[in-house]
Amino acid sequence: MKLLLPTGLLALMPIAAFAHDGMHVNDAFARSTNPVTAAIFMQLENHRDVACTLQGVTSDAAERVELHTHAEEDGVMRMGKIEGGIEIPAGEAHEMMRGADHVMMMGLTAPLKDGDQVAFTLDFGDCGTVDVDAVVDNERGAMDHGDGHDAHAGH
C-alpha cells in the first residue's frame, strides 16, 4: 500500500508540470461602462523557455476585438491600437491594466453587466492559443488611472 502512494504521485507529476507550461492568464476581468464597448484586463505569464507574442484576440461578444494601449502624444495620454502584438519574454509576466495595455472590445453584441462572463481567445502565434473567461466587474479598477477606456466610446 505504501508503494501505491508514491507511484500515484509520480504519475501525476507530469500533468502538474504540464499545467504550468506555456502561457497562463491570471485574474482576467472586464469593464463596460456603456452598451457598445468593454475593456479586458489580466496578467499574462509566460512559462515557456522562449518569448511569446500576443498577436490578437477573438471573441463572439463583440464585432471588433483589438489590443490597445495608452501612449503620450504632445503631453496628452491617448489610447490606440497596438501594432505588432505584445511580447512577453520567457519566464516573465505582463500586466494588462487600465492606463496601459488592454484588450478593447468594440461593437458589443449585447450590453455587459456586473457578473456576466465574457469568453475570448488569446492568440500567441507559435506559442498557441488560450481560451479565457473574464467576469464583468464595472467597479474594479475604476480609480486606477485617470484615463479610462470610456474614451473608446466613439469607436
**Mean pLDDT (whole number) for 126-141:** 93
Identify the residue whose cell numbers are 512559462. Answer: 47
Domain count, the chain: 1
Q: What is the mean pLDDT of residues 59-83?
A: 91
Kindly report the three-state secondary structure assignment for every residue of 46-79: ECCCCCEEECEEECCCEEEEEEEEEEEECCEEEE
Q: How distant, in Å, are the alpha carbons of 86, 104, 117, 125 from that of 55?
A: 7, 14, 23, 6
pLDDT at position 20, please? 59
Q: Is residue 62 part of a domain?
A: yes
pLDDT of res. 74: 86
Residue 94, in any domain of the structure: yes
Which pLDDT band, with edges at 50, 70 and 90, does 16 fall under?
Answer: very low
List the CATH number of the domain containing 95: 2.60.40.1890
Report yes or no on 11 lying in a domain: no
pLDDT > 90: percent of the chain: 66
Residue-number span of the structural domain to which 122 is assigned: 21-137
Q: Residue 150 pLDDT more than 60?
A: no
Q: What is the mean pLDDT of the chain?
A: 84
Per the model's pLDDT, the better-predicted residue between 44 and 2 turns out to be 44
Q: Is residue 3 part of a domain?
A: no
Per-residue pLDDT averaged across 50-62, rounded? Answer: 97
Taking the C-alpha atoms of residue 125 and residue 38, their distance in angstroms, rounded to an integer, is 24
All three cell numbers of 122: 488569446
Position 1: which residue type? M
pLDDT at 72: 78
Give the pLDDT score at 33: 84
What mean pLDDT do residues 126-145 have?
Answer: 84
pLDDT over threshold 80, residue 27: yes
Residue 77, pLDDT > 90, answer no
Least confident of 33-42, 69-78, 111-120: 69-78
